[in-house]
Amino acid sequence: MKPVIVVHGGAGTIFKDREEGYRTGVKRAALKGYNILKNGGSALEAVEEAVVVMEDDPHFNAGCGSVLNEKGDVEMDAIIMDGKNLASGAVSAARCIANPIKLARLVMEKTDHMLLTDRGASIFAKAQGIPEVPGEMLVTDRSRERWKANLKPESNPAVPQIDLGTVGAVAIDSDGSVACATSTGGLTNKLVGRVGDTACIGSGGYADDLVGATSTTGHGESIMKVVLARLVLHHMEQGMTPEEAADAALSYMKERVNGHGGVIVISKSGGWTAKFSTKQMSWAAVTDGQLQCGIYQGENQITTVEEALALLLN
């Protein structure tokens, strides 16, 4: 099987001055994951490391760069899933760690549970030797400004957030195994303790070697209502291609609950797609030594991996 990785840096609206940062960020993440796959690494390792790259990049709403809750704090959700055996681990409302996706993987591998939340996640992180970082280190000027603007009496909480964020990755390795990983700071000015789709299996992501893998992004409450990631895989089980399945699931979410978002999908035979019903979604994919990337509907910039690496290193 030829390895493939697809990543997203969140569906929504990307402001003009941030477009290049998003493009560079998703390319870096996809190349990091592909390098692991090319050297014989597993899909699980590849998606984890790709997501770590985006959690560490302040452009994205995950890890450093996460949006703030109503009290001005960062609370993060993440999930990882291994298509080999349907093992999955997740954290929700996680605080003061740099990489929630790593903690999600430890939940999967070191506990009999699938999801640890808030204080329990913190206790577990400490027990696993994950360094605590001051909450302030995860907060960017931009996220603090947005939080403050949303607290103003004239701000309208009924207007849906347009730059939704979230990061994710799906991959297939040379053994034909698939995996997914998704990580987010959630919705800006969310209630303390709000858990979104990302931490919920079948909503924020799903991976099954018998079908394929998906990672989602968008309005979490809508995604949860239609269990978006599992819905995509369900359509593929019924014979749809990744593209058809993504379109059908996103249309259903729009028609049924007026929800918008995006998905990246990989099939058990290595077919893939990146689709969204929002104005934009940053995404990148690497397969066969070729890197593809886009932000707008219909955009697909294609370069060789060598060209992309040279550009990123300059």
Catalytic residues: 166
φ, ψ for residue 147, nearest 5 deg: -60, -45
Q: Which DSSP state fits 201?
A: B
| 270 annotated binding-site participant | no
For residue 102, give both structure tokens.
Answer: 């790593």
List residues binding ligand GLY (CB under 6 A). Answer: 166, 184, 186-187, 196-198, 217-220, 223
| 219 annotated binding-site participant | yes
| Closest to ligand GLY by CB, 186 or 294 | 186
Altogether, the residues listed in the chain come to a count of 314
Minimum Å gap between C-beta 17 and ligand GLY is: 23
Other beta carbons less than 10 A from residue 101's beta carbon: 29
| 82 annotated binding-site participant | no
Other beta carbons less than 10 A from residue 36's beta carbon: 23
Other beta carbons less than 10 A from residue 131's beta carbon: 10
Report d(CA 118, CA 97) in Å as an integer: 12
| Closest to ligand GLY by CB, 215 or 287 | 215
| Closest to ligand GLY by CB, 190 or 235 | 190
| 265 annotated binding-site participant | no
DSSP state letters, 211-243: TEEEEEEE-HHHHHHHTHHHHHHHHHHTT--HH
| 176 annotated binding-site participant | no
φ, ψ for residue 265, nearest 5 deg: -140, 145
| Closest to ligand GLY by CB, 219 or 268 | 219
For residue 123, give both structure tokens.
Answer: 């206790």
Minimum Å gap between C-beta 263 and ligand GLY is: 11
Report d(CA 238, CA 217) in Å as an integer: 23
| Closest to ligand GLY by CB, 23 or 219 | 219
φ, ψ for residue 161, nearest 5 deg: -60, 135
Minimum Å gap between C-beta 187 and ligand GLY is: 5
Give residue for tokens 């430890």.
Answer: 106
φ, ψ for residue 133, nearest 5 deg: -110, 145
Minimum Å gap between C-beta 228 and ligand GLY is: 10
Other beta carbons less than 10 A from residue 37's beta carbon: 25
| 196 annotated binding-site participant | yes
Minimum Å gap between C-beta 205 and ligand GLY is: 11
| 195 annotated binding-site participant | yes
Report d(CA 314, CA 309) in Å as an integer: 9
Give residue for tokens 């603090």.
Answer: 144
For residue 98, give both structure tokens.
Answer: 């740099």
| Closest to ligand GLY by CB, 117 or 303 | 117
| 163 annotated binding-site participant | no
> What is the pairing mode between strands 212-218 and 205-208?
antiparallel
Minimum Å gap between C-beta 97 and ligand GLY is: 17
Binding-site residue set: 194-197, 217-220
Binding-site residue set for substrate: 194-197, 217-220
